[in-house]
Chain A
Amino acid sequence: MLPFFITALGILSDYLKAAHNKTANTVGNDIAAVDQFTLAILQENARIKGAVIDWADPAAVQAFVATLPAFTPIPEPAQDLNQTKGK
């Protein structure tokens, strides 16, 4: 009886591992399909919601806001010299 029970648990273990791997691959494909904006926003949201700070303290919130990624403008492309000749 015991060997049968152990064998059944082993088969169940193999099934669960296979199901886990299939789920992981499916989730991975789904994540790949999500657009880059959504994924980046979700990651940043998770970081903010998981932050251990006193959200009621303005000074603490100021310090945390300073850690948000900063945007720097895209520079204008360099002027093509051939376009400015003759001007």
Chain B
Amino acid sequence: MKKDRLLISGTIFLLIACVGFAFIFGGCAASNLTGAAKVHQTVTLVLADECTAAIQAKAAYEAGTLPQTDAVRYTINDAGAACEQAKIAFTTALTAELAYRNAEALQVNACIPQAGAVPPPANPQCEAAGRNTAAAKVASDNANAALSTKLASLPAKAAAVKAISPQK
């Protein structure tokens, strides 16, 4: 009987130690992101935070734990709409970023010097690829600017939602 208890306790200790190591190393893996990867994950986290607050508030409103008034409904809907618009802006920015990367890759291929060929800038394909890349960069910059504007409005709207006092 006592050996069984010792075995169970030892097993529980080993399980806790394994889960602990998994959290430690899993957490370290997530924080090793840099550059575009880190930006993408950070924006996703911001969107998730704000949208989750609006969704939770809506559930609380419909359950009656938040006052079911026009003002409360407007505040929650306003935050939720801002969140969905920010998601669309993020998707648009990602599309533009992908298009820019593809344009850059095509430009590299088009502008590779060929043996005996006419050197740049007389290479028309290289010139066209360069113009496409420049246009794609402008589009990507504009999309990112629009995304920044949408993201900037989210914290205040989420704070307004969280500040709604529960129904008494």
Contact = CB atoms under 8 A, between A and B. Distances in A.
A78 interface: no
A84 B8 CA distance: 70
Interface string B92-114: 00110110010000000000000
Nearest to A60: B40
Contact of B40 (A36, A41, A56): A56
Contact of B73 (A17, A61, A68, A76): A76
A71 B97 contact: no
B91 A65 contact: yes
B48 A45 contact: yes
A74 B73 contact: yes
Chain B at the A interface: SS class:
helix
Interface in A66-82: 68-74, 76-77
Interface in B110-161: none
Contacts of A6: 2-3, 6
Contacts of A72: 58, 80
A40 B77 contact: no
Given A6-B2, A74-B62, A40 B56 contact: yes
Given A13-B6, A56-B40, A71-B84, 12 more contacts: A9-B2, A17-B5, A41-B52, A41-B53, A48-B45, A48-B48, A49-B41, A56-B35, A59-B94, A61-B44, A68-B48, A71-B54
Interface of B: 2-3, 5-6, 8-9, 12-13, 26-27, 30, 33, 35-38, 40-41, 44-45, 47-49, 51-58, 60-62, 68, 73, 76-77, 80-81, 83-84, 87, 90-91, 94-95, 97-98, 101, 162
23 contacts: A7-B2, A10-B2, A10-B5, A12-B9, A13-B2, A36-B60, A41-B49, A55-B37, A55-B40, A55-B41, A56-B35, A56-B36, A58-B40, A59-B94, A61-B40, A62-B91, A64-B44, A68-B44, A70-B84, A71-B54, A71-B58, A73-B77, A74-B76
